[in-house]
Chains A and B, each alone.
Chain A
Amino acid sequence: MDRQEEDEDRVKLFGFWASPYVYKVEWALRIKDIQSDYIEEDLENKSDQLLEYNPVHKKVPVLIYQGKPIAESEVILEFIDEAWKHCGDRILPEDPHERAMARFWVRFGKDTLSPPIWKWFTTQGQEQEAAYAAAVEQLQILEKELDGKRFFAGEKMGLVDLSLGPFSYIIPIYEEINGVKLITEEKLPSLLAWMGNFLNSSIVREHPPPMDKLKLRCQAIREAFLKNTS
């Protein structure tokens, strides 16, 4: 293979250091032991390449496979599992019903759980209290689903774990900034344990999120939101 072909065949990932969606993809690539080139994007000044590869959303992550782009983290995760079916562990289960359930919980995380958590983080007063209550309600549903398992997928991490995984470091940051716990041993013991299992997994320990930088960034985000609404 000549140089150019080799380059085109390399898997590339366009990302941003603070994006949990990018981290999910990076961890999935590690589960499959896939070598890739990482390109850090400045979201205030997006590269021509990114805009060409993801013209619809202009967002990261974007995975480049054989020169072709794939966008949207959940789509990328399923793609990684299918394109490298025989490498490393399976990310999705084999059984169709279990696959459907995994996809269900991924969607739950995105559509039902994320909004109240985000709202809790970016508001204050009554609005924040209402968001907190709504978040707890959804977390209780998740707690029931997890039911003491090590991971949502069982003994090893799977799609749901990767998809919800960022909550395990983002929620503690929000808790610290907001000065109140969302996930407690008393109310959500399985989830609390799962968060620990996720963060202590070899995949995450090998490539941990930049906590200190993230805390500062989150703090700035909350301040900006409160300023805009006062």
Chain B
Amino acid sequence: MSSTKEEAPAVRVLGLWASPFVIRVLIALRLKGVEHEVLEEVVGKKSELLLRSNPVHKKIPVLLHHGKPISESLIIVQYIDEVWSSNAPAILPADPYVRAVERFWAQYIDDKFPRGIRILKGTVDGNKDEIVEQLSTALQLLEEAFLKLSNGKHYFGGDNIGYLDIALGSHVGWVRAVEKIAGVQLLDAAKVPHLVAWADRFCAHPAVVDVLPSADRFVEYSVKYGSFFPTRPSLPTE
């Protein structure tokens, strides 16, 4: 820790505990053992620092490294991996082809899950049955991807969590919360048994356990801020 109080810590994260995108950044930093400060934004009110640091999108997460801002969660995770490349474990795999496969799936996850979760939460209008089907299909594909990539090991990344584990795992909190809120089954042990087991392992991982709260906490959050966001999400998150 810095000895002078005036000096800001070298690594700061602007975030909200309930944002899966913020959770990704925190997991990556913990995985690499990087000391950092978390500045929690206030829901519904964006801080001056956030507006200055991400003027284009005004969204969290933002990583401030020696004051320089980096935004977009998956971009930040890759940045962390590249800057602290000498800290094990590696987040992105070494092989360019496997990296491409993980990046493909990470993009797929962000195309499907955020919007789907918002619809099931009720903060965005949409056909819930259709979404449940879409997300179930997505999870089925990810189950197959898991079998191929994990190669019999515990995570998409193999022996330790990696980029794709973080990309999907960060959504597990809200996935389990909307299962309760909407009364649906997504992480169904009968349909995606390997993903269900993986999700439990992921949530218990030392780099994850303190930053990915239980489903109930996400449900509470949804109840508390549900009326704040009528049909359009105005959470300052990507």
Contacts and interface: CB of A to CB of B under 8 A. Distances in A.
A24 B56 CA distance: 25
B100 A70 contact: yes
A71 B104 contact: yes
A68 B98 CA distance: 10
Nearest to B101: A70
Interface string B175-202: 0000000000000000000000000000
B72 A75 contact: no
A47 to B, nearest CB: 20
- Classify chain B's interface size: 20 to 34
Contacts of B100: 70, 75-76, 78-79
* Interface size grouping (class) on chain A: 20 to 34
Contacts of A71: 104
Contact of B75 (A68, A72, A103): A103
Interface stretch (A13-21, A32-40, A92-100): A92-100
Contacts of A65: 97
A104 B97 contact: no
Contacts, number: 59
Interface in B61-110: 65, 68, 70-72, 75-76, 78-79, 82-83, 96-97, 99-101, 103-104, 107-108
Nearest to A101: B70
A75 B106 CA distance: 10
B56 A78 contact: no
A99 B99 contact: no
A75 B78 CA distance: 14
Interface in A80-112: 82-83, 96-97, 99-101, 103-104, 107-108, 112
B75 A75 contact: no
A103 B72 contact: yes
A104 B71 contact: yes
Contacts of B103: 72, 75, 78
B108 A56 contact: yes
B38 interface: no
A97 B141 CA distance: 33
Given A75-B104, A97-B79, A99-B82, A108 B56 contact: yes
A82 B103 CA distance: 13
Given A68-B97, A79-B97, A104-B71, A96 B107 contact: no
Interface string A177-204: 0000000000000000000000000000
Interface of A: 56, 65-66, 68, 70-72, 74-76, 78-79, 82-83, 96-97, 99-101, 103-104, 107-108, 112, 141
Interface of B: 56-57, 65, 68, 70-72, 75-76, 78-79, 82-83, 96-97, 99-101, 103-104, 107-108, 141
> Closest 6 CB pairs between A and B?
A82-B96, A96-B82, A79-B100, A83-B96, A100-B79, A70-B100
